Structure 1
C-alpha cells in the first residue's frame, strides 16, 4: 500500500475507497491483466474503533477519519445547520456507519427502470445484492452466501426493543423476520454488516482479501484536485499526495469517481463539468455544461423521539465504570453485548396511510438515547425511536464555495420543502406515539422526554415545528450525479458522464431517486453493477 508516487499509470483509476470503490477495485483486478489504481483521500483503517461495531461513537466527528461536513443553514429546519459525517478512510462511510444492511424496496429499482434506465430493475439488481452477500442465515431466493460481505443477525438483546416490536404488533403492524426478503413491510430486527462481532466494512470485505494482487495499487492520503480531461476524454486524476506535492495518476482506459454524493459532484465541478454559469463564478473554465451536477440532492431526515424509562437501559450501563467494565469483558471474551451494537436494534417499515402502496416511513429503535453519537448518552434511563420519511420529495444541491479542492462545498439539503414531506414527518411522529401507547412498551415508559407532553397529539403545527427544531440527518445523501435519459441527467444508464469519454461515476450520487432505506447496501450493489459494465465495455 502506497502513500504516494511520482507518476502512476493503469487501465483504470478509481477515486474513493468507499463502499462502491472497494467493490470495483476488487472485481476489476480479479482479471490479472487489468491494472487498477485506487486513490483514497484518507488513511488506512488502522483506528481500532473502526472495527468495533459500536465504534461509530468514537469515529463520527473525528477529523482523522471523518470529512466533518456541515450543511448550510436550512430554511426547512428553522435555519439550523447539521453535521454530515462522511468517511475519510479506507472503507469510506462503511468504516464509520451504523452497520445496518438494508436494500430498499423492489419497487425503488423498478421505478428506476421505468425512468428509462435499462438494467436497473429489481430483477437486474437482486443477483448483484446476492453476489456480494455472505448471509449468516443461509442462502435462498433473496440471499447469497458466497460473497465477501458478511451480513449477520444482532448479537445483542434488550427488553425495551423487544417490547417496542410487541407494541408495534399490538398497534397493527405485522412482524417481518426479513425486511430484505419478499416484502419490506413490517417490524423486526436489523441485519448488519458484521462478522463474529466485528465490523465488515467495504475495505474489510473487498480490499483486505486482495491487497497482495500485483495489479492493484492503493494510494492513501491522495486528495483529488481534478479529473484531467484532454480533447473530451478523461485521461487521469490530479491529486495532492501526503507530502503536499501534486501528482497525476494516468488512466489508459477509464476514470471512475466513487467519492460519494458530496465528493463526486465537487470533483466534477472542479474539473469543469457542471453548470457553466456556476463554474464561471469560481473562475473555472467549463469543459461540459451539465447543469445537473450537484442537483437532485436527497437525504433521509429523522425525527428522534426519546422516552424516559421505568427500568434501566444502556444509558445506565455505559455511565457506570463497573458497567463499562462488564461490557468490555463480554466483548473481549465472547464478541457479544453492547459493543457489537449497530446504530439501532429494532426497525419498522410502515405506511402512513392505507392509500400508500408501499412503506413510506422507517423506524430505527435504540436502547439508549443521546443528542448525537459522539456526545455521550443522556444522564437518565431512556430509549429512542427515530422515524424518517423513506422517499422525500424535497431536493437540495451541492455548490462550490471556491475552486480550491481543499474547501468543503456548500451543502443545501432543502429539507421539508414540500407539503408531502411535512405531512409525512408529522404522521410518522404520530405513529411513534401510538406505538408507545401500546403494551408492553407503555409499562416501560415513565414519560415522553421528546417532543414531550407540551406538544399535543393533535397539534400538527406543533409537531412539525418540533421536527424543524430537532430533526437530523440519518446520513444518506444521494442523487447529486444522477443517471437518467433527460437533459438534466449527469450520467447515462451505464454510469458514463455525458459529454466526456472515459469517465464514470459509481456511488450513491448516481441514484435518480433515493432508495427506501439505508444506503450502504445499495452503494455496494452499485459497485457490483459498475464493475460488470466496465468489464463488458472493455471487451
Structure 2
C-alpha cells in the first residue's frame, strides 16, 4: 500500500482539530469496531495487535494509515458506560464483580489486591486520571528519540489531556508541599520536574474521562478492524525449515466460544504486536510457547523458545496513604498535584466523597475504598473476602462526618524491588500467579518512610490548617483510637506503630505494575521479541521502572512512538521525508 502525502501529514504530524469530535456522552461512532462474533473463521492482515489498551489503541491508529490492522480486545467498549466516563462514578468499574466488567481483580502472592483492565482503552478507562510525562533522563536511558517522543506526547495530548480545575483542598496540599520544602514550584506542567507541580488530567472540565480509545479518532477507518470480546488464546509460529521461529497467526475466541484464526499476510515487514499489558503480555508469551521451558512443559505447553526471563522483573509501585479527617467539607478530587522529592518519593492526594449521581452520597473513600480492594485496616495477607466484607460493613455504618476529608499518599519511584509471574493454568482469561515483593529492597522502604515524613509536614503546615483537626498529629492518625473520627489503619496491641511497620502493613497498589517482558531481557531496543521473528511487545511490560509519577501518558506515547518507528522502518526515512 502506498504512502501518500495526505496520509503522511495525518499520521506523522498529528495535525487534527480533535476537541469537539467527541461531544456525545456515548463517544465517537467508530465504524470499524465490531463484536468478535462477527469475525470470519480465517482472516488476513498486515498487522495484528493483541490488546486494545493504553498502548494498543494509539499503535493501531497510527499503523492503520499504511496497512491493514486487526486490533483484538478481550473486553467491551468504554463508550456509554457512565461508570467509566464520569469522574463522579470513579471506583464503580473497579468494584464491579461481574465477569464481563471492565476490571478484572487479581491478588498478588504478596496479598495486595490489584486490578487489570478488560476494556477498549485499557487502564486509562479505570485510573484516577493523572497525566504526566516521563523525566528527560528516563527518555535518554530508554534510548528513545527525544524529538519523536515529544511529538508523540503532543499527538496524545491533543485528544486526552487537560489542565485540572484546582479547588481549595488540592490547593492546600500544593501549598503545604511547598511549605514542606518540596520545591521549586513548577506550576501546571506535563513535564516531570523535581518540586511541586499541578499535572494534567484525562478528565475534562465537565468531569468526563477521555481514554486511549479516543485516540482511535486518528485512525484510517478503512485500514482498521477492532474486534471486542475477542480473547487471544495463543500466537502461532512457523518453525519448520526456519532458523528462527516466526510469528504468523493468532488464535482467538469470541463471546460465544467460537474459535477464529487471524494470519499475517505474506510480507517480510508484517508483524504481530503484543500490547496486553504487564500481566497479559508475559502470560500470553508463555501460553504461546515462549518462556522457561520447564515451567511451560509442566503446563503441557510445547516450548517454541526457552526464554527464562519472560515473567521476571515484575514490579508494582507501592502506595501508602494517610486519611486526614477535615473539620470542614472538601471537594471531590482525584490526583491533581504531585510533590516530586529528590529522594525518590512522590506525594499526591485525593479528597471528598464520591457522588452517586442519584441525589445522595456513596461513602466509598474514592480510590481508597475496600469495595475496590484498597483495604489498609489489616496487613496484606489478611485481606480476605471476609475481611473486605467486614470493612465495607463498618464503613457503611459510620457517620457521614467520618468521610469528610481526604487522603494524602506517597508512592516510591522505581521501585527497586522486583518479583515474577508464572502461569496458573492454560486459560488466558484466568489470572496468572504474580509476586511483586513490595519493600524487599531496603531503599524502597526508606523512601516510603521519608515520604510519610513529608506528609506529616504537609498536614502540619499553615496552608493545610483549615482541613485538619489540631489534635490529630501523624502519630495519632497512624495509631488511631476509637475516639478518632475514622479508623482506617492496622493495630498492633499495646505497640505504637513505627513508620517502617506502617509502610509494610498498609501497602496498597496504585495500579502501576510493570515488567515481565523487559528491554534487553525479553525484547530488544526496538521491542522485538528476542529469538523469534515478526513479533514485538509494546506496552508497560517492557519497562524496568515506571515512568514519571504516573505511567499512562508514557504508555500512550509509546504506542504512537513505535507505530511511527515501525512505519519508518517499513517505508524508509527518505520516503517519509518527501
Regarding TM over 0.5, the answer is yes
1:351-500 equivalences in 2 (<5 Å): 351-352=342-343, 360-368=344-352, 369=365, 371-372=368-369, 374=371, 379=400, 380=402, 381-446=404-469, 447=472, 448=474, 450-452=477-479, 462-484=498-520, 489-500=521-532
Aligned to 1:501: 533
Q: How far has the Cα of 1:208 moved from its partner?
A: 4.2
**Residue 110 (str. 1) matches residue 140 (str. 2):** yes
- How far apart, CA to CA, are the structure 1 residues paired with 2:123 and 2:176? 33
1:48-197 equivalences in 2 (<5 Å): 48-62=82-96, 63=98, 64-74=100-110, 81-113=111-143, 120=144, 122=146, 125-134=149-158, 149-155=159-165, 157=167, 159-174=168-183, 175-181=185-191, 184-197=193-206
Q: How far has the Cα of 1:69 moved from its partner?
A: 3.2
- How far apart, CA to CA, are the structure 2 residues paired with 1:415 and 1:389? 11
- How far apart, CA to CA, are the structure 2 residues paired with 1:48 and 1:453? 36
* 8 Å Cα contact 1:66-1:85 kept in structure 2: no
- How far apart, CA to CA, are the structure 2 residues paired with 1:525 and 1:246? 33
- How far apart, CA to CA, are the structure 1 residues paired with 2:513 and 2:51? 16
Quick check: 424-433 or 402-411, which moved more?
402-411
- How far apart, CA to CA, are the structure 2 residues paired with 1:215 and 1:394? 42
Q: How far has the Cα of 1:209 moved from its partner?
A: 5.3
* 8 Å Cα contact 1:68-1:83 kept in structure 2: no
* 8 Å Cα contact 1:107-1:122 kept in structure 2: no
* 8 Å Cα contact 2:103-2:126 kept in structure 1: no
Cα-to-partner distance string for 1:8-33 (whole Å, 9 max, x where unaligned): 211111011111110011111123xx
Closer, same or farther in 2 for the Cα pair 1:43/1:66, shift >3 Å?
closer
Aligned to 1:518: 550
* 8 Å Cα contact 1:38-1:218 kept in structure 2: yes
Closer, same or farther in 2 for the Cα pair 1:373/1:190, shift >3 Å?
farther
How many equivalent pairs are there?
A: 468
SS class of match (1:256): strand
SS class of match (1:468): helix
Closer, same or farther in 2 for the Cα pair 1:460/1:262, shift >3 Å?
farther
Q: Unmatched 5+ residue regions in structure 2? A: 1-32, 240-244, 353-364, 373-391, 482-490, 572-578
- How far apart, CA to CA, are the structure 2 residues paired with 1:527 and 1:18? 10
* 8 Å Cα contact 1:391-1:516 kept in structure 2: no
Closer, same or farther in 2 for the Cα pair 1:473/1:429, shift >3 Å?
same
Cα-to-partner distance string for 1:233-273 (whole Å, 9 max, x where unaligned): 11111111111011111122211011000001000000000
**Residue 243 (str. 1) matches residue 256 (str. 2):** yes
SS class of match (2:65): coil
Aligned counterpart for 1:350 among listed residues 341, 350, 358: 341
Closer, same or farther in 2 for the Cα pair 1:463/1:152, shift >3 Å?
same
Q: How far has the Cα of 1:453 moved from its partner?
A: 6.0
Q: How far has the Cα of 1:349 moved from its partner?
A: 0.9
* 8 Å Cα contact 2:73-2:227 kept in structure 1: yes
* 8 Å Cα contact 1:55-1:96 kept in structure 2: no
Q: Unmatched 5+ residue regions in structure 1? A: 75-80, 114-119, 135-148, 315-337, 353-359
Aligned to 2:359: none
* 8 Å Cα contact 1:256-1:505 kept in structure 2: yes
**Residue 26 (str. 1) matches residue 34 (str. 2):** no
- How far apart, CA to CA, are the structure 2 residues paired with 1:464 and 1:84? 22
Q: CA RMSD, aligned part only?
A: 2.3
**Residue 256 (str. 1) matches residue 273 (str. 2):** yes
Q: TM-score, normalised by structure 2?
A: 0.77
Aligned to 2:246: 233
- How far apart, CA to CA, are the structure 2 residues paired with 1:65 and 1:92? 12
- How far apart, CA to CA, are the structure 2 residues paired with 1:363 and 1:53? 21
SS class of match (1:199): coil
Cα-to-partner distance string for 1:506-531 (whole Å, 9 max, x where unaligned): 11111133223111001011101220
Aligned to 1:146: none
SS class of match (2:533): coil
* 8 Å Cα contact 1:65-1:87 kept in structure 2: no
Q: TM-score, normalised by structure 1?
A: 0.82
Q: How far has the Cα of 1:479 moved from its partner?
A: 1.8
- How far apart, CA to CA, are the structure 2 residues paired with 1:230 and 1:299? 35
- How far apart, CA to CA, are the structure 1 residues paired with 2:117 and 2:370? 15
Cα-to-partner distance string for 1:316-358 (whole Å, 9 max, x where unaligned): xxxxxxxxxxxxxxxxxxxxxx4xx4x3232211123xxxxxx
- How far apart, CA to CA, are the structure 2 residues paired with 1:95 and 1:213? 22
- How far apart, CA to CA, are the structure 1 residues paired with 2:477 and 2:118? 33
Aligned to 2:47: 12
- How far apart, CA to CA, are the structure 1 residues paired with 2:349 and 2:448? 16
